[in-house]
């Protein structure tokens, strides 16, 4: 095989690998967005009293033109916090904490963090050396509430970072508001 053919093969494989990663990032983004969605409707009737509750949570990924726009502080009340720094060359650094049920605050830093489209992937490295895979999506989350889908009382959209927190026996949808 000539050097030219080897070079073409190398370039083709490199481009193909980038294409596969981009498709993989989009598939992960779509899966996370779907997992963050939730619709709940309950109706209870007792002795001439009827109570209805409707909640619909939808998310839409947000892709920024400049990755530096993702930098900032993201928080969920007192349970979670993530501070992201993003350089112009795409280098991502972060630190924060998790407050899991029945546990004290666990501080972490992000290792090998990268942003592809609206997807943030990294490894959380905790103070005790433990590691945990981390995937989150930058998104606009809209919460619609009311009595039922035809009687909406409020609708609120916020920008932030959403992910699924896995515990030993259950999982939780987490949304960090951008501060």
Q: Given this model, what pLDDT does residue 8 score?
A: 47
Q: Give the HSE-up count for residue 165: Cα atoms under 13 Å, Cβ half-sphere.
A: 17
Q: Given this model, what pLDDT does residue 177 score?
A: 96
User: How does strand 105-116 pair with strand 92-99?
Assistant: antiparallel
Q: Given this model, what pLDDT does residue 170 score?
A: 79
Domain map (residue ranges) of the chain: 3-36+61-139+158-178
Low-confidence ranges of the chain (pLDDT < 70): 1-23
Q: Given this model, what pLDDT does residue 48 score?
A: 85
| In the block, residue with structure tokens 């993003």 | 86
Q: Give the HSE-up count for residue 57: Cα atoms under 13 Å, Cβ half-sphere.
A: 14
Q: Rounded to 5, what percent of the chain is helix, strand, coil?
A: 20, 60, 20
Q: Given this model, what pLDDT does residue 161 score?
A: 97
d(Cα 73, Cα 86) in Å, to the nearest integer?
12
């Amino acid at each position: 095989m000539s050097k030219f053919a080897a070079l073409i093969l190398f370039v083709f494989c490199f481009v193909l690998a980038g294409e596969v990663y981009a498709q993989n990032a989009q598939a992960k983004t779509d899966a996370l967005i779907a997992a963050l969605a939730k619709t709940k409707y309950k109706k209870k009737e007792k002795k001439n009293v009827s109570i209805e509750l409707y909640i619909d949570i939808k998310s839409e990924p947000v892709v920024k033109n400049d990755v530096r726009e993702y930098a900032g502080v993201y928080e969920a009340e007192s349970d979670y916090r993530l501070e992201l720094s993003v350089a112009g060359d795409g280098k991502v650094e972060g630190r924060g904490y998790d407050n899991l049920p029945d546990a004290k605050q666990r501080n972490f830093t992000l290792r090998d963090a990268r942003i592809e489209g609206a997807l943030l992937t990294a490894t959380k490295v905790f103070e005790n050396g433990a590691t945990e895979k981390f995937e989150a999506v930058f998104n606009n989350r809209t919460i619609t509430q009311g009595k039922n889908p035809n009687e909406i009382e409020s609708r609120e959209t916020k920008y932030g970072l959403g992910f699924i927190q896995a515990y030993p026996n259950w999982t939780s949808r987490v949304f960090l508001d951008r501060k």
